[in-house]
Amino acid sequence: MATEKVQVVEKILDANDQVASQTQTLLTGSGVFSINIMASPGAGKTSVILKTIEKLSGKMRIGVIEGDTAPVTIDADKVMAMGMPAVQINTGGQCHLDAMMIDRALKHIDYKALDLIIVENVGNLICPAAFKIGTHANVVISSVPEGDDKPYKYTNIYRGIDVLLINKIDLLPYLDFRMDYFQQGVEILNPGLTTFKVSCKTEEGFDQWIHWLSQQVDEFKNRIHA
């Protein structure tokens, strides 16, 4: 029975990866860069996305795909209130987004009119790491209040990412968070990982994140138009 379960899981992941590859090809062909933002609940995913939209407003056309386990549209409504298109995915209780969900969501957004799609994955540090969804870059947000031991407890989520945002650094003076210890754990899993220390409240470090993201979009568009 154990062998059968492994084979079933492998088939599911293989099918998912095929759809993810097709989605990435679709977005690339349409000139749309995409990022997958993952984090635990309360790390500040939505706050980072809203602040990113605010900083890039007028400079870039952005769409957001919101993943949630419950049929609520609170986060999507916040994005649309800022004048950007958003699609809400109700996972039906599943703890992650998968490639098929993203494929369906793209049918409800005019992605060809966008420069950037931001996917907000379900708040979870385990399941999202296993499922590719077709984006061009994977981002994890860790926040200071979560503690400095997350890289040691949730190793897989840090291994396959392109960028790490350490959020809520304005709280560092008030919490026992050892930045060196945290980053040492990340470095073991993902050497040289691009990392930004940010605060949505004070905007500290946010310009560096925006510069990196803008550069990625520009370089992406230059490559596909070369």
Long-range contacts of 49-53, Cβ-Cβ distance < 8 Å, separation of 24 or more: 49/79, 49/118, 49/120, 50/78, 50/79, 50/82, 50/200, 51/200, 51/203, 51/206, 52/118, 52/209, 52/210, 52/213, 53/79, 53/82, 53/84
| pLDDT tens-digit map of 96-113 | 999 999 999 999 999 999
Map out the domains of the chain with their CATH numbers.
2-218 (3.40.50.300)
Instruction: Note the pTM of the prediction, 2 decimals.
Output: 0.93
- What whole-number distance in Å separates Cα of residue 151 and Cα of residue 7? 29
Chain segment 130-177, per-residue pLDDT in tens: 999 999 999 999 999 999 999 999 999 999 899 999 999 999 999 999
How confident is the model over 63-79, as pLDDT tens digits?
Answer: 999 998 877 678 899 99
Rounded-to-5 percentages of helix, strand, coil across the chain? 50, 20, 35
